[in-house]
Structure 1
Amino acid sequence: MTDTSTKHDAQTIANPVVRAAANAAAKTPLTLLGLGAMGTALARTWLAAGHPLTVWNRTPGKAAALAAEGALVAASPAEAVAASGLIVVCLLDHAGVGSALEGLDLTGKDLVDLTTGTPADGRARAAWARERGARFLDGGIMGTPSMMGTPAAGGYVFYSGSPDLFGEHRSTLEVPAGARFVGSDPGHAALHDVALLSAMTGLFAGISHAYALIGGEDVSPKDLAPLLAEWLGAMGFFAGAAAERLVSGDFTSGVESNLAMQVTGSATLLRTAAEQGVSTELIGPYLDLMRERLAADPAAHAGEDNAGAITLLRR
């Protein structure tokens, strides 16, 4: 006699439709509002992982491809929100979030906002959600759409807000990319996001200046590229070193290249830019900041690490 449960298990494994249904039944259902490039990438990772997914987009046509992949397409934000307990929002801006969710019943819902914003945006949305009976997480995505669903790409998302919401839904949130909880203050995800993006912007500015310097010379950007990558990697120590100095307040111990030396040396950077016909608008503000720190009290600051200049930025 064949065991009934064994026969059922064999049918489930053999039939991909049955297998997909069984897999989805064990996964957390969720709703996603917003199907831009990032929203669509997020949706595909959850669908591929077997999560029942309801989607809504202001332009309905963007949902057609996802419907073919198994998503349920809601006709309105209200219908989408009603479909799931976990609501993820990934829209163009926070005005769009307010417009999509205004007037909807969010009682008992878990709202995760992945829309790019500021710390103040995150805190305001958290208060807004609490007033409507929802738990809230703000998120800052550190990655591009192509990095979603590809762990080796290194993308991840900062989350802040309700620790209970994060703990309950962490496995679902980690499907598209790694999840890093940075505290109960709902503004801290955006703060971490923008801090890293700001550092990246400065890095890109320096790289851009370097390439501009070699323009018109018999030096190929392709030859300079590996040298840039190697040098910038070696200089990565500054992140940790500056953190130590900012916490301790000691900007002088163990300094090898002091502020007075760097300010003097910066003149060479400026002269070279002038000789090469390159604007200093990308590096000039940082050099100005170092000079300002030194000029404020040469005796006190000449022997410092240039991390002391960071203290001048909070004005």
Structure 2
Amino acid sequence: MTTSTARTDAAPAVAVIGLGEMGAAVAAAFLDGGHATTVWNRTPDRGDALVARGAERSATVRDAVAAGDLVVVSVKGNAVARELLASAGAALAGRTVVNLTDGTSAEVRELAQWVTEQGAEYLHGQIMTIAPGVGHPEAVVFYGGAQAVYDRYQSALGLLGGRATLVAADPGVPVLYGMAVHGTMWGLLNGFLHAAAVLSSEGLPVRQFLERADASMSALMAFLPSIAECVDRGEHAVEYGALKHHLPSVEDLVRESRARGVDDDLPGSTLALVRRAVADGHADDNYSWLVEHFRGR
């Protein structure tokens, strides 16, 4: 990226509250995009590098908020975010708050309501990359809030990720989208690392496996839309690949893991789910039926 601090009429002034890894990367992206950027952090010297690049350092949250049209918050927890925004007092009115703070959907909705009660606008943003990826053309950011507010600041928000999308008027939805990505990621990573443990116990190179199984591994992601359709329709009957056909393979993986001294908790949990579904009369249903288990039904 090139550094520029020249403000244009189309570039609203930005205040960034919180300069951890993500907050610092966000502030840098706004600076690079030509926005006058004011920063605040409890530990002031966390902003030294940004100040050297042209950011203004504020001594108080109130002063930072007063300096920005767009107030971006990236701190640890929504309770902290609210505490800091409350310290801005009347300066918050008329601003647009973009909250990038992690938390639950209920916490975000509660904060959004409080912010609007203070006379400010609210957007929630869920950045789906680590700090070095902020600003990358392929970085995904899910936003939630009013369409008109998002449209007004779309150019500035696009600086945080080239694949920024307003996914809902409800600010809690981006949180759920983010959790869905992470939950899928952890399931995939844990499954892969269990597979890596089984392969390496035989002395088989894991990288070589990936090269040779590339088509099969890629097909797994390509299969997700059909699973999603079954879940959305609430219809799980299937002609091929029913749950009963998964059962022998899961049983084999559990037995292989045990024989090799590889932890079998992960495949064992899957085996228990599939066995229960089959016993409950869902042998001929798609694997998608297990969503009903996770729904607690």
Alignment TM-score, normalising by the size of structure 1: 0.87
- Secondary structure in 2 matching 1:304: coil
1:92 equivalent in structure 2: 76
Q: Would the aligned equivalents of 1:158 and 1:180 in 2 still touch at CA under 8 Å? A: yes
2:117 equivalent in structure 1: 131
Deviates more, 1:96-105 or 1:67-76: 96-105
Aligned to 1:306, which of 270, 282, 287? 287
Relative to structure 1, the CA distance from residue 200 to residue 20 in structure 2 (aligned partners, 3 Å threshold; closer, same or farther) is: closer
Report the AA paired with residue 182 of structure 2. L
Q: Would the aligned equivalents of 1:205 and 1:283 in 2 still touch at CA under 8 Å? A: no
**Structure 1 CA distance, aligned partners of 2:119 and 2:76?**
24
1:185 equivalent in structure 2: 170
Per-residue CA deviation, residues 68-121 of structure 1 (Å, 9 max, x unaligned), is: 100001011111011112101011222221221124222111111001111111
Deviates more, 1:133-142 or 1:210-219: 210-219
2:135 equivalent in structure 1: 149
Residue 64 of structure 2 corresponds to residue 83 of structure 1: no
Matched-pair identity in % = 32
Deviates more, 1:102-111 or 1:265-274: 102-111
Per-residue CA deviation, residues 248-268 of structure 1 (Å, 9 max, x unaligned), is: 232224x32211121232110
**Structure 1 CA distance, aligned partners of 2:295 and 2:10?**
50
User: Cα RMSD (Å) of the superposition?
Assistant: 1.8
Per-residue CA deviation, residues 119-138 of structure 1 (Å, 9 max, x unaligned), is: 11111111111211111111
Alignment TM-score, normalising by the size of structure 2: 0.92
Q: Would the aligned equivalents of 2:75 and 2:101 in 1 still touch at CA under 8 Å? A: yes
Aligned to 1:167, which of 136, 151, 158? 151
Count of equivalent residues: 291
**Structure 2 CA distance, aligned partners of 1:229 and 1:140?**
30
Aligned to 1:224, which of 201, 209, 228? 209
Residue 101 of structure 2 corresponds to residue 120 of structure 1: no
Structure 2 residue runs of 5 or longer lacking an equivalent are: none
1:206 equivalent in structure 2: 191
Relative to structure 1, the CA distance from residue 118 to residue 313 in structure 2 (aligned partners, 3 Å threshold; closer, same or farther) is: same
Report the AA paired with residue 286 of structure 2. D
Deviates more, 1:85-94 or 1:210-219: 210-219
- Once the two structures are TM-superposed, the CA of residue 50 in structure 1 deviates from its matched residue by 0.8
Report the AA paired with residue 72 of structure 2. V
- Secondary structure in 2 matching 1:158: strand
- Secondary structure in 2 matching 1:70: coil
**Structure 1 CA distance, aligned partners of 2:74 and 2:214?**
33
Q: Would the aligned equivalents of 2:5 and 2:54 in 1 still touch at CA under 8 Å? A: no
**Structure 1 CA distance, aligned partners of 2:101 and 2:211?**
35
Which structure has the bigger radius of gyration? 1
- Secondary structure in 1 matching 2:262: coil
Q: Would the aligned equivalents of 2:78 and 2:108 in 1 still touch at CA under 8 Å? A: no
- Secondary structure in 2 matching 1:51: coil
**Structure 1 CA distance, aligned partners of 2:292 and 2:283?**
15
Per-residue CA deviation, residues 33-69 of structure 1 (Å, 9 max, x unaligned), is: 1111111111111111111100111111110110010
**Structure 1 CA distance, aligned partners of 2:271 and 2:155?**
45
1:140 equivalent in structure 2: 126
Q: Would the aligned equivalents of 2:251 and 2:271 in 1 still touch at CA under 8 Å? A: no
Q: Would the aligned equivalents of 2:143 and 2:167 in 1 still touch at CA under 8 Å? A: yes
Per-residue CA deviation, residues 151-194 of structure 1 (Å, 9 max, x unaligned), is: 1xx21111112222111101100012031111111110101010
**Structure 2 CA distance, aligned partners of 1:118 and 1:268?**
38
- Once the two structures are TM-superposed, the CA of residue 225 in structure 1 deviates from its matched residue by 3.4
Deviates more, 1:97-106 or 1:87-96: 97-106
**Structure 2 CA distance, aligned partners of 1:246 and 1:211?**
30
Structure 1 residue runs of 5 or longer lacking an equivalent are: 1-16
Deviates more, 1:288-297 or 1:112-121: 288-297
